[in-house]
């Protein structure tokens, strides 16, 4: 039988035929795709004609189509529906892929042709996008080590291969720890928990094969348990297990892996002539330097820490009033913050949650996209990789734009967190292709599925990434969609979160799961008033992670990352009752690959822009002002990485932003 991964897909919109793909197809498909890509690369490198943009740069853009198809499917299922077989394949594929792309970047004949085109760039009459693609291609080769020779070239290949193995191992260790631990709850242990937490715990117990409800290490379950359980002993047990992920001392311990990754990154940067990995990594970002990053983070840290410390005093007094003596602990914060929120804002999460139905929040995200950008969404009945997945065709004025896939529920086979990926990116060369975009979340599964307010924000966030992919309108895939600077990529996603806070959006879509009644205006006002509640805590836990990440890479790699982490936290005066959002052994953003390494700050960098960008709508008259929406699509959402990020933002807003809008938006300074 012909391998379906290597066929032309005669399916609706060219979607992957998931009903015909088995795990046994992946390895032979990858080998065939690698062989095909190697042949394409060799043909470019050995072309006897003079190197030009078409036969070298565009030829590189066109190469690797079969490999993109195979990897688009494989990494989708490996992240969202993992199995032991897929984990084994991932461990096998990682070094192969690292070696494959290292060979390409080290191909001297190929680099010589790229360099030849680069040297003649001023005489080639290139379009702005072509000039950008050429620059990025040449820079990518140089930064990958194409100019290295001899022993340095060999060592660079070894480093890349080892980093690929370690990143996969880090991710799988974390998944194994999250999957293996759960805490069984007796019926008495459910006292004080809202129905939605009890339902989620029972569903998790069924998935784990337990005799009753359980708490797992899925954020969508453990966080509400920490918020609502009056049992301090159980909160502590659950929190300590959550904190211990990747640091248990056994086969899944990630601490030595993190140390080796940091050491190899430093060596890699120095081989390329950089002082350290942060200098190497930030060269291509908007921030440019570690000093610029640290300056921004510390500008926000001081007011955030002051707010968190003031909040800690209030929560401690509440705890003491409950008869619990001693200091406020990390497993106490969410519990007493929730009680404080209920008291100060008269908000009951259990009463609030029925108004945030998953289906209605999906409708809300779609409706905002319709009003802003004219997009329409129609359900599709197509084979997908898991029964929980859903798909929609996205159109505008009757024209097909994209396929959007949503995979929303937590399960043991899915890695934690939420993400957006493109199984197929938008491009017009070498042929026109529309994007296939996936949002993956980890919401608790119940009937009906109910979200917390933070869950709803996550849904809007990931859909903002999806819009960046779906509205992309460039020629070359290498600059399509979210292929932008890391500290720019979160701008569309974080900006889209703001529409969840627009009163008319919640007024229309926040309807009760049982009665269908809209959220009462009084409750809606309270939700919006509480939007910045506990923002000191949220800002501090994030900034601590970003500052530790920067410290890991800005200077000599630490032999003991946990000691460096402790030093950084002590130096900034980390509040005792708050932990980093991602401690080192769980910091998949930074250690599962290079994506956010020395770049976790980018969420904050982007937030400076998103807060300022949303103010543009208010200044123009409202959240759905069509002129600003059109400018947003024209200058940011449709342009991908075809121009410099700072240029794009200035084209949209007329200037670069300051930090004031962010501080106002987080309630850390007076509005």
pLDDT score of 149 more than 90: yes
Residue 336 located in a structural domain: yes
pLDDT score of 316 more than 90: yes
- Domain final residue, candidates 585, 600, 615: 600
pLDDT category of residue 347 using cuts at 50, 70 and 90: confident
Whether residue 478 sits in one domain with residue 409 = yes
**CB of 636 within 8 A of CB of 492?**
yes
Whether residue 298 sits in one domain with residue 284 = yes
- Domain final residue, candidates 577, 600, 623: 600
Render pLDDT for 247-265 as a digit per residue (tens, 0 to 9): 999 999 999 999 999 999 9
Whether residue 123 sits in one domain with residue 58 = yes
Residue 172 located in a structural domain: no
Backbone angles phi, psi at 347, to 5 degrees: -110, 125
At 1 the pLDDT is 61
Whether residue 619 sits in one domain with residue 491 = yes
* Cβ atoms within 10 Å of 86's Cβ, excluding its own: 19
* Cβ atoms within 10 Å of 50's Cβ, excluding its own: 11
Whether residue 591 sits in one domain with residue 634 = no
Whether residue 318 sits in one domain with residue 220 = no
At 595 the pLDDT is 86
pTM: 0.87
- Domain final residue, candidates 147, 173, 190: 147
CATH of the domain at 121: 1.20.1050.40
Residue spans of beta strands (DSSP E) within 56-199: 182-184
Task: Look at the alpha carbons of 262, 267, 269, 275 in this order and tell me if their dihedral is positive or negative.
Answer: positive
Query: Which of 554, 551, 588 lies closest to 277 in space, CA to CA?
Result: 554
Whether residue 358 sits in one domain with residue 433 = yes
Render pLDDT for 6-22 as a digit per residue (tens, 0 to 9): 999 999 999 999 999 99
Residue 274, token pair as written in the block: 């950089």
Residue 551 located in a structural domain: yes
Residue 645 located in a structural domain: yes
Rounded distance between C-alpha atoms, residue 199 and residue 444, angstroms: 9
Choose, from 462, 477, 490, 633, the residue flagged as catalytic.
462
Which residue is associated with the tokens 């999806």?
Answer: 466
Residue 82 located in a structural domain: yes
At 237 the pLDDT is 98
DSSP lists the bridge partners of residue 216 as 182
**CB of 106 within 8 A of CB of 152?**
no
pLDDT score of 513 more than 80: yes
Whether residue 486 sits in one domain with residue 401 = yes
Residue 31 located in a structural domain: yes
**For 641-666, what is the mean pLDDT?**
93
pLDDT score of 670 more than 80: no
Rounded distance between C-alpha atoms, residue 245 and residue 258, angstroms: 13
Domain extent, residue 636, equals 354-529+603-665
Whether residue 636 sits in one domain with residue 551 = no
Residue spans of beta strands (DSSP E) within 90-208: 182-184
The CA-based dihedral angle spanning residues 406, 419, 183, 456, taken in that order and rounded to the nearest 10 degrees: -60
**For 68-79, what is the mean pLDDT?**
96
Rounded distance between C-alpha atoms, residue 40 and residue 63, angstroms: 6
At 223 the pLDDT is 95
Residue 405 located in a structural domain: yes
At 446 the pLDDT is 86
Residue 233 located in a structural domain: yes
Active site residue 462: yes
**For 160-170, what is the mean pLDDT?**
95
Whether residue 408 sits in one domain with residue 497 = yes
pLDDT score of 299 more than 90: yes
pLDDT score of 331 more than 70: yes
Q: How many domains does the chain have?
A: 4
Residues near 188 by Cβ (< 8 Å), separated by ≥ 6? Answer: none
Render pLDDT for 581-601 as a digit per residue (tens, 0 to 9): 999 999 999 999 988 999 999
Work out whether strand 399-409 and strand 436-443 pair parallel, antiparallel, or are unpaired.
Answer: parallel
pLDDT category of residue 671 using cuts at 50, 70 and 90: low
SS (H, E, C) 232-246: HHHHHHHHHHHHCCC
CATH of the domain at 366: 1.10.1370.40
Work out whether strand 376-380 and strand 214-216 pair parallel, antiparallel, or are unpaired.
Answer: unpaired
The terminus-to-terminus CA distance of the chain in angstroms comes to 65
Whether residue 113 sits in one domain with residue 30 = yes
- In the chain, % of residues over pLDDT 70: 100
Residue 205, token pair as written in the block: 């117990």
**CB of 215 within 8 A of CB of 410?**
no
Whether residue 233 sits in one domain with residue 380 = no
């Amino acid at each position: 039988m012909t391998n379906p991964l290597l066929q032309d897909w005669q399916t609706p919109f060219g979607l992957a035929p998931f009903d015909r793909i088995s795990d046994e197809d992946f390895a032979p498909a990858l080998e065939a795709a690698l062989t095909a890509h190697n042949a394409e690369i060799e043909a470019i490198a050995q072309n006897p004609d003079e190197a030009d943009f078409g036969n070298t740069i565009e030829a590189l853009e066109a190469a690797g189509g079969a490999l993109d198809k195979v990897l688009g499917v494989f990494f989708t299922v490996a992240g969202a529906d993992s199995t032991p077989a897929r984990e084994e394949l991932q461990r096998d594929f990682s070094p192969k892929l690292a070696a494959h792309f290292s060979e390409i970047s080290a191909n001297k004949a190929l680099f010589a042709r790229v360099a030849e085109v680069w040297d003649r760039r001023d005489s080639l009459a290139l379009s702005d996008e072509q000039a950008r693609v050429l620059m990025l291609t040449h820079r990518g080769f140089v930064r990958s080590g194409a100019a290295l020779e001899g022993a340095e070239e060999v060592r660079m290949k070894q480093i890349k291969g080892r980093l690929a193995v370690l990143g996969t191992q880090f991710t799988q260790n974390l998944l194994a720890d999250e999957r293996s631990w759960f805490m069984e709850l007796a019926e008495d242990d459910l006292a004080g928990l809202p129905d939605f937490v009890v339902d989620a715990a029972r569903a998790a117990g069924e998935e784990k094969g337990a005799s009753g409800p359980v708490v797992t290490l899925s954020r969508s379950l453990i966080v509400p348990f920490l918020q609502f359980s009056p049992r301090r002993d159980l909160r502590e047990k659950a929190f300590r297990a959550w904190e211990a992920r990747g640091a248990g001392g056994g086969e899944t311990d990630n601490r030595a892996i993190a140390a080796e990754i940091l050491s190899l990154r430093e060596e890699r940067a120095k081989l390329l002539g950089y002082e350290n990995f942060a200098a190497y990594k930030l060269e291509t970002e908007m921030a440019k330097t570690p000093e610029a990053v640290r300056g921004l983070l510390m500008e926000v840290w001081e007011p955030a820490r002051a707010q968190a410390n003031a909040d800690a005093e209030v929560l401690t007094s509440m705890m003491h009033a409950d008869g619990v003596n001693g200091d406020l602990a990390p497993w106490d914060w969410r519990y007493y913050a929730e009680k404080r929120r209920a008291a100060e804002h008269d908000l009951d999460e259990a009463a609030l949650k029925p108004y945030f139905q998953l289906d209605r929040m999906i409708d809300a995200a779609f409706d905002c996209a319709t009003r802003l950008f004219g997009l329409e969404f129609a359900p599709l009945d197509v084979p997908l990789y898991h029964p929980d997945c859903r798909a929609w065709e996205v159109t505008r004025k009757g024209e097909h734009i994209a396929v959007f896939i949503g995979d929303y529920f937590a399960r043991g086979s899915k890695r934690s967190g939420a993400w957006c990926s493109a199984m197929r990116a938008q491009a017009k060369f070498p042929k026109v292709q529309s994007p296939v975009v996936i949002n993956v979340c980890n919401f608790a599964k119940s009937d009906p599925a109910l979200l917390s307010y933070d869950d709803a924000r996550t849904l809007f966030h990931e859909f903002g990434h999806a819009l960046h992919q779906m509205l992309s309108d460039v020629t070359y895939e290498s600059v399509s969609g979210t292929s932008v600077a890391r500290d720019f990529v979160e701008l569309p996603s974080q900006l889209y979160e703001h529409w969840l806070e627009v009163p008319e959006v919640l007024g229309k879509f926040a309807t009760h799961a049982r009665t269908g009644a809209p959220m009462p205006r009084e409750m809606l006002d309270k939700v919006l008033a509480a939007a910045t509640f506990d923002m000191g805590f949220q800002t501090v836990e994030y900034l601590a992670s970003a500052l530790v990440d920067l410290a890991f890479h800005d200077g000599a790699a630490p032999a003991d990352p946990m000691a460096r982490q402790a030093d950084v936290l002590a130096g900034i005066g980390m509040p005792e009752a708050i932990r980093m959002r991602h401690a080192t052994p769980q910091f998949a953003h930074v250690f599962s690959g290079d994506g956010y390494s020395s770049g976790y700050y980018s969420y904050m960098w982007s937030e400076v822009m998103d807060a300022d960008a949303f103010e543009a709508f208010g200044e123009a008259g409202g959240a759905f002002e069509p002129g600003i929406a059109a400018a947003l699509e024209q200058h940011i959402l449709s342009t991908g990485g075809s121009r410099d990020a700072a240029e794009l933002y200035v084209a949209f807003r007329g200037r670069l932003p300051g930090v004031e809008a962010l501080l106002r938006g987080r309630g850390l300074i007076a509005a």
